[in-house]
């Protein structure tokens, strides 16, 4: 049974940092891209960042480019999202996901396993 467990969310003031983690179990994920999505209240879920199976080809939502960094540790079956200079508009529930493919896609139908989601709140 595939399971994704997210951690590291919480409340942070504007300009602060958080590091999200997503530990995967139940299969080998090293052959698949992984991604982070978020959903703010009243809005559709959106792609935030993705990383290829090899750890390259990072892709980011324009509004987080230069502030967020995605990385992975396949020895630990874990993907990370380092979030710096957080803004109130980053407030959302964040989800990690495992792609069906080796390269990341910004379309959520390209992912077949999802974490339960965790709240990130950036406040001024």
62: how many CB neighbours lie within 10 A of its CB?
6
Q: What is the pLDDT of residue 7?
A: 96
Considering the chain, what is the average pLDDT of its residues? 95
CA angle 7, 20, 106 (to 5 degrees): 115
Question: Confidence class of residue 18 from pLDDT cuts 50, 70 and 90?
Answer: very high
Q: What is the pLDDT of residues 23-34, one digit of tens each?
A: 999 877 889 999
């Amino acid at each position: 049974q595939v399971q994704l467990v997210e951690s590291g969310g919480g409340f942070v003031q504007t300009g602060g940092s958080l590091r999200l983690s997503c530990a995967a179990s139940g299969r080998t994920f090293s052959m698949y891209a992984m991604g982070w999505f978020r959903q703010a209240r009243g809005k559709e879920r959106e792609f935030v960042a993705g990383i290829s199976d090899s750890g390259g080809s990072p892709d980011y939502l324009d509004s987080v480019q230069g502030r967020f960094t995605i990385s992975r540790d396949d020895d630990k079956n874990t993907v990370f999202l380092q979030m710096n200079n957080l803004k109130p508009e980053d407030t959302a529930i964040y989800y990690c996901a495992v792609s069906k493919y080796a390269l990341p896609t910004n379309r959520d139908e390209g992912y077949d396993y999802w974490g339960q989601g965790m709240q990130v709140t950036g406040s001024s």
